[in-house]
A = this chain, B = another copy of it.
Amino acid sequence: MSNENKQMKLGAILMETGHHVAAWRHPNAGASRVVDVKYYQEMARTAERGKLDLVFFADTLGVPNYNSFFDHNVTIRLEPLTLLASLAAVTSHIGLAATATTTYNEPFHVARMFSSLDHISGGRTGWNVVTSALADEALNFSKEYHLEHSLRYERAKEFLKVVTGLWDSWEDDAFLFDKESGHFADSSKMHVLHHRGEHFNVRGPLNISRSPQGYPVIIQAGSSEEGQNLAAQTAELVFTAQPTLERAQAFYAGLKAKVAAFGRSTNELLIMPGVFPVIGATEQEAKDKLEQLQELIHPAVGIDVLSRKLGHDISGYPLDEPLPDLPESNGDKSRNHLLIDIARKEGLTIRELYMRVAGSRGHHTVVGTPAQVADHLEEWFVKQGADGFNIMSPYLPDGLDEFVDLVVPELQRRGLFRTEYEGTMLRDHLGLSRPNNQFAREPQ
C-alpha cells in the first residue's frame, strides 16, 4: 500500500497561545485572549479557509500542582465541548475534535455530548479518547489515587463499547414525525442497550437520535502497548508524537499491522503525527524565530515541563548534572522511557533535556521556508511515516495563518492536499465510511 495517489490529512491543534512552552510570551501571541471564544472562532475560520480537515483541542481535567506552574504558564482554558459547539455555529466545513477522558467521565454523558455536537455541527465532530495521563485529575474527582495504567485501558475499552452502543440506540430511520397517526418514532427501531459490565451498568437508550456521522470520528493518542492495541481495534484517527522519520515509519507500520491483525482494513485508521513547524521567509528567519521563543522559556517552566513528562517532580535535582535514576511512574510509560533513553544516549543534563523537550514538547520540529516545511511533510507522507499531520504551531494565531497562507498552497501545488472540501462531514474529509448501526436488523 502506498500513499502516492492520496492526499495528506491536516489538523490544527489549537493549544491556547501555541505549542511552544513560552508561546504566550511572544509579542503577537493571544495571551490575554485564552478564554475569549472569538479568538478560537477566528482561528477555526482560518483553518477552514485553508481547507484543513479539523481543528483539535487537547484537554486535562485540572492543572498539575507545581508551585511555580501557575505563575508562568497558561493554566486556564475554555471547556472543549462547549467551545466546539460555539465554533460549529460560525463554521460550515472544518472538523471539530476534542479530548474527553474515559477515566473521570460517565459514558452516558460522553455519548450524549458528542452526539449532540455531531448534530449541532452537521456531522463534523471527533472524539479523542484518552485515559488521562495527568495523575492530579484524580484529586478533582473524589479519588485518592489515579487509576492504574492497565485498569484505565480496561475501563476505556468498556467505556467505548457502551458509548458506541448508546450511539446505536436508534436506527437512522427510527423517527417518523407522523403527526396524523401520532407516531413520533417506531420503537421497534429503538435498541435499549442493557449493558452490564465490569466498570459500568448502563441501560439506555440515549435520548438523542443517531447523529449525522453515525458515530463521531474516534481519535486516540496513546502510544503505549495498551494504547496501540485499543487504537488498532477502535480508533479511526491516531495522534502521535514521533521525533524522527524512522521512528514514525516504525510506528506507522506497526500500528497498521495491528489494525490488519484485528481484521480491519488499514485504511480505516489514519495516523497523524504532530509537527511543530517554525516557518520563515528564509531558513535563517525561521531559525531566528525559534531562537526568540527558546530564549523566552522561564527556567522554572523548563523544570515543570520535564517533571510532568517524567511523572516526577525533579525540581530538587541539580540542573547541570545528568538526569538521575527515577522510580517507575504511573504515567504514560512509553513516553517516560523515550525521554530517559534520549537523555542517557546523548548524555544530556536536566537543563539540556528540558531545553530539548520544553520547546516543541517532543514533537517533530521543522524549521525553514514554506517549501522546506512542505518537503518534510511530503517525505514523511510518501515514505509512509504518516497519513497526515497535526500542525502544532509554535505560537498562535500567527503560526496558523502562516501555515494556511504559505504551506498549504505549496502542498496544493504539489497535489498533496485538497483545494476544496470533498463533502460537509469530517468523515468525508478523512475518507472514512459511516458506521452501520450494530443493532439494525436490516442493512441501512
Contacts and interface: CB of A to CB of B under 8 A. Distances in A.
A391 to B, nearest CB: 24
Contacts of A60: 207
A82 B79 contact: no
Q: Which of A32, A108, A115 counts the most B-chain CB atoms under 10 A from its CB?
A: A108
A77 interface: yes
A74 B184 contact: yes
Nearest to A90: B89
Nearest to A120: B37
A201 B139 contact: yes
B86 A182 contact: no
A182 B108 contact: no
Interface in A219-259: none
A141 B81 contact: no
A379 to B, nearest CB: 36
A340 interface: no
Interface string A97-119: 00000001110110011011101
Contact of A31 (B29, B88, B184): B184
A71 B119 contact: no
Contacts of A61: 108-109, 112, 207
Given A32-B177, A86-B86, A72 B24 contact: no
A209 B31 CA distance: 13
Contacts of A205: 63
A187 B71 contact: yes
B184 A112 contact: no
Interface residues of A, number: 81
A202 B144 CA distance: 10
A103 B44 CA distance: 35
A71 B207 contact: no
A183 interface: yes
B81 A140 contact: no
A120 B31 contact: no
Contacts of A170: 76
B76 A200 contact: no
Interface in A6-60: 22, 24-27, 29, 31-32, 35-37, 41, 60
Nearest to A37: B120
Given A27-B179, A106-B104, A183-B71, A120 B207 contact: no
A419 interface: no
Contacts of A136: 203
B83 A86 contact: no
A70 interface: yes
A282 to B, nearest CB: 26
Interface in A283-316: 296, 298, 301
A185 interface: yes
A109 to B, nearest CB: 8
Contacts of A65: 192, 203
A138 to B, nearest CB: 9
A113 B110 CA distance: 13
A73 interface: yes
20 contacts: A31-B179, A37-B120, A61-B109, A61-B207, A62-B204, A62-B207, A72-B182, A76-B175, A79-B112, A81-B85, A82-B85, A83-B85, A85-B89, A86-B88, A86-B120, A106-B142, A139-B201, A140-B202, A140-B204, A141-B202
Given A62-B207, A73-B184, A85-B85, 7 more contacts: A25-B179, A36-B119, A77-B208, A85-B86, A86-B86, A108-B141, A140-B204
4 closest A-B pairs (Cβ-Cβ)? Answer: A89-B89, A79-B116, A85-B85, A139-B203
